[in-house]
Amino acid sequence: MSMFCYQCQEASKGIACTGLMGVCGVTADTVHLQDLLIHLMKGLSYYNLKANDVGIENQEIDKLVLNNLFATITNANFDVTVFTPRIKKVIEWREKVKKQALEKGVKFDANLPKSYSWIPKTDSEIMEFGESIDGRVDAPNEDVRSLRALALYGIKGIAAYAEHAINLGSISNDINKYCQKVLVKMNDDSMTLQQNIEMVMETGKIGVEVMALLDGAHTGRYGNPEITKVNIGVGTKPGILISGHDLRDLEDLLEQTKGTGVDVYTHSEMLPAHYYPFFKKYENFVGNYGNAWHKQKEEFETFNGPILFTTNCLVPPSKTSKYMDKVFTTGAVGFEGFKHIQEREDGKGKDFSEIIALAKTCKSPTEIEKGEIVGGFAHNQVMLLADKVIEAVKSGAVKKFVVMAGCDGRMKDRNYYTDFAKALPQDSIILTAGCAKYRYNKLELGDIGGIPRVLDAGQCNDSYSLAVIALKLKEVFGLDDINKLPIVYNIAWYEQKAVIVLLALLYLGVKNIHLGPTLPAFLSPNVVKVLVENFGIGGISTVEQDMEMMMA
């Protein structure tokens, strides 16, 4: 049966992906099961939170909810075969925690949704239930639906960042529980419109907290990112290409490949790993290969060796792809036919021996470019340059900072961001994070008094760094409002992690953000009006018009 999905920027015709396959390549069956998984986790979350109130804690449930939210992010898990087992596990835990709560004397609300007690007898019943669910968030009207979608897609982004932090030993029960609270609120029609708006803003607050948590987890284990020149050429040895965002997976891979004669290269959002001091000790950590996620089909062909996906941003390969038998997945990501690496056990690293063995049989990567790119401008590094930055602003050498963080994508209209970067005045500096940087990080844009005109803070979650930098500059210049800084925001979005970054910026009081290449399809006209009137949110138009407006 036909699907309905509008959670990412590629929503067909700017409305929604319907039919039997989405623009991203996900099948309707997979979407139905993902929708059902989210639907059933509302009941699991309800009973778990009730159990928490009487002292019953099940960390397995917290991790399960986070991982399932993560697995439903755009371009994360296309493997229809994994979702029925995930659904069964949710039901199993729901019944277990419900029983635990009842034994403690917990009273449940009357007239709970049918899905809170539904138990399927067969796999076909699971699919039938999935097909019966509207892909849009349940709500009494379009405005509440829109706000609930913002919160739901926000907690999907939160879940991704929380899982990365957990993999590094940093856990926040408050963040984990918040995701479950939002899931329960998805069924609460007694909430007023204002209460739904407050839920969205609270989601932004939790977004700031989870990005701070992950920032601390990264820097605590790997050191503060520092200015680094990253090689974009290749060596002569066989290699493994690692994509995604999970630095703990990279650590395991580098530890297991050292001394094996196999080199490791980063791809797309894994590029910022080169900025951390910890990873520089590995001599076989050669450089970055290729560009943003949407170019992976052609770049994986020329890489020649195996590829490891640690998180989302997977593009389904074509039937003629030569790299099909060389791709491995792990964590929340998956694709039917790709070998999946299991989770860590007893504190040990993941076992990547099969990938390493395969790499040894492959030829070295085909060179597709040469040179270096510079990055490593997270908040700590920029603060070390604060005197130089402040002087450049006071002298007039720097008149504008332009935040161009966010996601890249395959649509042609994203060339706008390359053209915008080229057209910026020479007295402006780009602050970036996320894979949107690939639209301009290889351009020769020069520097201002030794300060590069593109300052890359890192991955999408490192958009937090850009907020910290802005708040520090506000303090240094003695301003009472972050929006009085000479900073403009021209942000590209694609999926749900970008949604939580946007909500986090709104929570911090940032206004007049321009979001493109299109506004989210799940926003109702009235919610767009609220965002425009209260936060100055706007779309993009032409480079010339936007340049005139933003540089004024």
Q: Please, which residues have CB within 8 angstroms of residue 388's CB and are 6 or more apart in sequence?
A: 449, 450, 451
Proportion of the chain above pLDDT 70, given as a percent? 100
Question: pLDDT at position 329, please?
Answer: 98
- Whether 413 is covered by a domain: the verdict is yes
| Structural domain range at position 465 | 379-550
The verdict on residue 199 lying in a domain is no
Q: Distance between CA atoms of 306 and 484, rounded to whole angstroms?
A: 49
Specify the DSSP element, H or E, that contains 267.
Answer: none
CB 130 within 8 A of CB 32: yes
In this structure, the answer to whether residues 343 and 399 fall within a common structural domain is no
Do 183 and 45 touch, CB atoms closer than 8 A?
A: yes
Q: Are residues 463 and 353 located together in one domain of the fold?
A: no
Cβ neighbours of residue 106 closer than 8 Å, sequence gap 6 or more: 50, 51, 53, 54
| Enclosing H/E stretch for 151 | helix 142-167
- Separation of alpha carbons 434 and 28, rounded Å: 29
| Res 18 pLDDT > 90 | yes
The verdict on residue 155 lying in a domain is no
Q: In this structure, are 351 and 437 located in the same domain?
A: no
In a domain, 175, yes or no: no
% of the chain residues with pLDDT over 90: 97
Distance CA 154, CA 496 (A): 6
Is a pLDDT exceeding 80 seen at residue 347? no
Residues 84 and 233 in one domain: no
355 and 383 co-located in one domain: no
Q: Summarize pLDDT for 112-128 with one digit per residue, the tens.
A: 999 999 999 999 999 99
Query: Are 523 and 394 within one domain?
Result: yes
Q: Cα(298)–Cα(475) distance, rounded to whole angstroms?
A: 46
CATH code at 397? 3.40.50.2030
Q: Which amino acid is at 391?
A: E
End position of a domain, from candidates 311, 330, 359? 359
Mark whether 352 and 390 lie in a shared domain: no
pLDDT of residue 138: 86
Q: Is 486 found in the same domain as 458?
A: yes
The answer on pLDDT for 134 being more than 90 is: no
Asked if the structure places residue 168 within a domain, the reply is no
Looking at residue 450, its pLDDT comes to 93
Decide if 143 is inside a domain. Answer: no
Checking if the pLDDT of 524 tops 90, the result is: yes
Give the model's pLDDT for residue 13.
Answer: 95
* Predicted pLDDT at 540: 97
The 10s digit of each residue's pLDDT in 68-91 is 999 999 999 999 999 999 999 999
Residue-wise pLDDT for 230-259, tens only, equals 999 999 999 999 999 999 999 999 999 999
pLDDT of residue 539: 96
404 and 535 in a single domain? The answer is yes
Q: Contact 498/204 with Cβ under 8 angstroms? A: no
Q: What is the mean pLDDT of residues 145-167?
A: 97
Contacts of 410 by beta carbon, 8 Å cutoff, 6+ apart: 10, 294
Last residue of a domain, one of 359, 392, 417: 359
- Clarify whether residues 480 and 342 are in a common domain: no
Cis, peptide link before residue 316, omega less than 30° from 0? no
pLDDT, residue 336, reads: 95
Here the tokens at position 25 are 């390549």
Q: Does residue 196 sit within a domain?
A: no
- Domain termination residue (choose one: 85, 111, 136): 136
> Which residue is listed with tokens 């450089």?
287
Phi and psi at residue 309, to the nearest 5° = -95, 120
Number of domains, the chain: 3
Confidence at residue 514, expressed as pLDDT on a 0 to 100 scale: 97
In CATH, what number is assigned to the domain containing residue 28? 1.20.1270.20
Q: Over the stretch 32-71, which tens digit does the pLDDT of each residue have?
A: 999 999 999 999 999 999 999 999 999 999 999 999 999 9
Mean pLDDT of all residues in 345-368: 95
Residue-wise pLDDT for 375-411, tens only, equals 999 999 999 999 999 999 999 999 999 999 999 999 9
Same domain, 1 and 115: yes
Q: What are residue 492's DSSP bridge partners?
A: 406, 516
Q: Are residues 431 and 526 in the same domain?
A: yes
For residue 438, is it within any domain? yes
Q: How many other β-carbons are positioned within 10 Å of the β-carbon of residue 271? A: 28
What's the pLDDT score for residue 346? 78
